[in-house]
Amino acid sequence: MGTSQQHATATAYWTVGPEKGELRREDLPAPGPGEALVRTLYSGISKGTELVVHNARVPLCVAAEMAAPNQEGSFPGPVKFGYLSVGVVEEGPADWLGRTVFCLYPHQDRYVVPVGSLTVVPDGVPARRAVLTGTVETAVNGLWEAGPRLGDRVAVIGAGLVGGMVAKLLSAFPLGRLQLIDVHPAKRAFAESLGVEFSHPDDALPDCDIVIHCSASQEGLERSLQLVGDEGDVIEMSWYADRKITLPLGEDFHARRLSIRASQVGVVARARRHRRTHADRLELAVSLLKDPVFDVFLTGSSSFEELPDVVRQLSEGTLDALCHVIEYPALESPVIDSPSTEATR
């Protein structure tokens, strides 16, 4: 590394207050031994979780547990948050140079991380599609938690990004029945593109062995308790943040001895925790993305410069998306600047 690299800079997206984000310039350190400099190609917005952060709704009692792996700052803000990033290694160990990699890193155009934080994107997985790796990882963890068996009757409630991903993975299992359930009839075409049967909640089939709930709604969780069979399991994959919900626990839940079990991607599911690492789980997730059907989850794109406005539109509901992709400009060389560079707005 030359001395000029000491003042190389990067630009990152920060949530700086409730419903407010901006792009900020910051110093970029030179990579040390075992570290890599990654130039970002694409990042994805994980709408559910990132809007919780954008709207300052992370409960302080779980702020540490809900921090992203390479997060800077703390909730409610200012905080640099995000975890779906794909880039190319520009500096680092020789065997990593030029590799396309996925990293659980916030929205930033260049960054330096230990190579152990990187997952190689295999041949056959386009870099753009690889932003879904973190979401596939979440779905894999949920299925490890649920443990579906041969001939099971399974329902997935909520045809959003996570629910659709779970249903897509389940479609490869030898199940007796699988339904993707949502209140919006327009989701039928989405379910069909995944090769999964769609149902409105009112028409969904009961007596399920497993119900996986992904709608983050009180009504969806109530319906989960009605659809799961006696002594069956509801796997709760939604994050309600600071919202409080009410459930009729004196009805199906109590009388039919049901179970509600949380699945959260921060730790490997209990059923696989002793035999799989986080790195193993990510490698499995990115390998599954060789199937081009996953492109249906990528529902729009914008330039990095537009990111603050895109997050605002997603929050206001004027932009609809499953996974919105952020595209980064090609940079020929590191941006050289003085350490006193101010934030760009």
Best CA proximity match to 119, nearest among 272, 273, 278 = 278
What letter does residue 122 receive in the DSSP assignment?
A: P
- Structural domains for the chain: 3-122+290-336 (3.90.180.10), 141-262 (3.40.50.720)
Owner of token pair 């989701």:
187
Q: What angle do CA 138, 127, 114 make, to 5 degrees?
A: 70
In whole angstroms, give the CA distance from residue 152 to residue 222: 21
Render pLDDT for 203-240 as a digit per residue (tens, 0 to 9): 999 999 999 999 999 999 999 999 999 999 999 999 99
pLDDT at 6: 52
Sign of CA dihedral 242, 245, 250, 251: negative
pLDDT at 241: 95
Assess whether pLDDT exceeds 70 at residue 337: no
Assess whether pLDDT exceeds 90 at residue 197: yes
In whole angstroms, give the CA distance from residue 110 to residue 333: 11
The total number of residues shown for the chain amounts to 345
In whole angstroms, give the CA distance from residue 88 to residue 101: 6
Assess whether pLDDT exceeds 50 at residue 259: yes
Render pLDDT for 97-120 as a digit per residue (tens, 0 to 9): 999 999 999 999 999 999 999 999
Burial class (CB in 10 A: 0-12, 13-18, 19+), 56: middle
pLDDT band of residue 330 (cuts 50, 70, 90) is: confident
Q: Averaged over 238-256, what is the pLDDT?
A: 96
pLDDT band of residue 339 (cuts 50, 70, 90) is: very low
Say whether 48 sits in a helix, a strand or coil: helix
pLDDT at 344: 38
pLDDT band of residue 281 (cuts 50, 70, 90) is: very high
Q: Averaged over 292-316, what is the pLDDT?
A: 97
What radius of gyration, in Å, describes the C-alpha atoms of the chain? Answer: 21
Q: Averaged over 67-87, what is the pLDDT?
A: 96
